[in-house]
Amino acid sequence: EKAKLKAAVKEEVKPQSKDAKVKKENKNYIKVEGIKAKKPIKRLGTTSESKVPKDKGLIYIGHIPHGFYEKQMKEFFSQFGKVTRVRVNRSQITGRSKGYGFVEFLHPEVAKIAAESMNNYLMSGRLVKAEYIPPERQHENYFKGADWSIVGHPALRRRKKEINRFNGPKPNERHQIYLKKSLKKFSKISQLLRNEGLDFEMKFGAVKV
């Protein structure tokens, strides 16, 4: 019995053979026929992340003609490849186009081809300028404010805020300041009319001026 137990323990702690160890280490590697390499080539991942490039292709577009905006640009540049984002730089005061923008592609190679094809391209009487922006020069500020819309651009939002502030309820302190300024204006007008010989009563609410 002791001999059998000793043999079983020996079999359990038996060191792994060299071939088995190499096989285990190489399970994530593939063999390439006809190539002699010191190290095996690592197998690429099959997840969705491995299919999506980390560095996307970005191009600058200048001299944009009137009417060639976000929607039109995305439709036009989609003929080169997958477009992920489009931005037309606009004025914060008027919301109008500044004449330049950026287009982001899923693949940098597509962006390079698009930039080369569109540089000095004549469109609606304008010579469009296009330049590829390498990954080391890319940053998120290129697409800051890309959610611009005709009903929600910055100038319109500020205008609505100011209208609501002006027409909304006012604190008593602000109301008193408003009354004093208005009475002062009416007093000046009333004095000017009296100097011209026009004497009649002016009322500001229940107050005679």
Look-up of token digits 């004025």: 91
| 90 C-beta neighbours (distance < 10 Å), count | 21
pLDDT tens-digit series, residues 120-143:
999 999 999 999 999 888 877 777
Per-residue confidence (pLDDT) for residue 29, from 0 to 100: 43
Per-residue confidence (pLDDT) for residue 179, from 0 to 100: 84
**Phi and psi for 128 in degrees, rounded to 5?**
-70, 140
Closest CA to 63 of 112, 113, 123, 133: 123
- With b for 16 or more beta-carbon neighbours within 10 A and e for fewer, the 162-180 pattern comes to eeeeeeeeeeeeeeeeeee
Q: Which CATH superfamily is domain 57-165 in?
A: RRM (RNA recognition motif) domain (3.30.70.330)
Look at strands 57-62 and 83-90 and give their pairing: unpaired
Residues 60, 118 contacting (CB under 8 angstroms): no
Per-residue confidence (pLDDT) for residue 48, from 0 to 100: 42
Measured distance CA(1)–CA(206) in Å, rounded = 118
Mean pLDDT (10-residue bins), the chain, 209 residues: 50 51 47 42 39 74 93 94 92 83 94 95 93 86 66 74 84 83 86 83 68
Measured distance CA(87)–CA(70) in Å, rounded = 6
Domain boundaries, the chain: 57-165, 169-196
